[in-house]
Amino acid sequence: MNVTERITPMRAAMTRIRLKGAAVAAASVAMAVMLTACGGDAGSDKPEDEGKASKPTSNQKPQEQSPPQDDDESQVLGTMKGADGIEVVISSAQRDTGGFITVKGRVTNDSGNRFTAQGWQGTEQEMRANGASVAGASLVDQAGKKRYLVLRDTDGRCLCTQFVTGIAAGKESSFFAQFPAPPQSTTEVDFQIPTMPTATIKISG
């Protein structure tokens, strides 16, 4: 065997070693790239709603409802003065497109005690569960000889303000109550709350 024949196998072996080393290096680089790509998404698999306010649970206390504040509460459609310094001022009685009327106003407690709207829930057993509220309010259409009660949902909750903690002495609170609407020809109704005198008010809209 001449010198050339002995060197050729050696070169072939060295070439195989170099190729194998290059393949290992290339695989290492590819693995590093993959790890870097995966690491760039760290933290992106968190739930989409994380950090958002959670829905209230059923055992949370209800929040006191209040009417929208876009009405001028300085208007006075009617005033009702009850015992112990309780006064109700009606500021609006708006006819809405849904076929109902929303009555809004404010209750002032000039007594020396917290007002809990005792009796204002009315005599219906279903409405008494609304607690301190105007659930027992009603509208009377004298011309049509009909009485309209506060609307309620399927669970018996009135579509009206609930004074969750009552009204502290010397304070006032806004209120609203929604009723079925009388015919368009009726422009005036009597607003009534149990234990309070009647106030005759005009309907707008």
Burial environment of residue 114 by CB neighbours within 10 A (0 to 12, 13 to 18, 19 or more): middle
Order the strands of the 100-109 sheet from edge to edge.
78-81, 86-95, 100-109, 172-180
For 69-85, what is each residue's pLDDT tens digit?
A: 455 667 899 999 998 89
Cβ atoms 199, 189 nearer than 8 A: no
Pairing of strands 172-180, 199-202: unpaired
Q: What secondary structure, in 3-state letters, does 19-67 show?
A: HHHHHHHHHHHHHHHHHHHHHCCCCCCCCCCCCCCCCCCCCCCCCCCCC
Rounded average pLDDT over 100-128: 90
pLDDT at 73: 65
CA 60, 66, 67, 68 dihedral sign is negative
pLDDT band at 167 (very low <50, low <70, confident <90, very high): very high
Integer Rg of the chain from CA: 38
Whole-number mean pLDDT of the chain?
A: 75
Secondary structure (3-state) at 133: strand
Query: What are the C-alpha distances in Å from 48 to residues 42, 43, 44, 132, 151?
Result: 14, 11, 9, 40, 38
Return the structure tokens found at 82: 């009850």
Mean pLDDT of 150-164: 90
Residue 147 in this model has a pLDDT that exceeds 80: yes
| pTM of the complete model beyond 0.75 | no
What token pair was written down for 55?
Answer: 């829905």
% residues pLDDT > 70 (the chain): 64
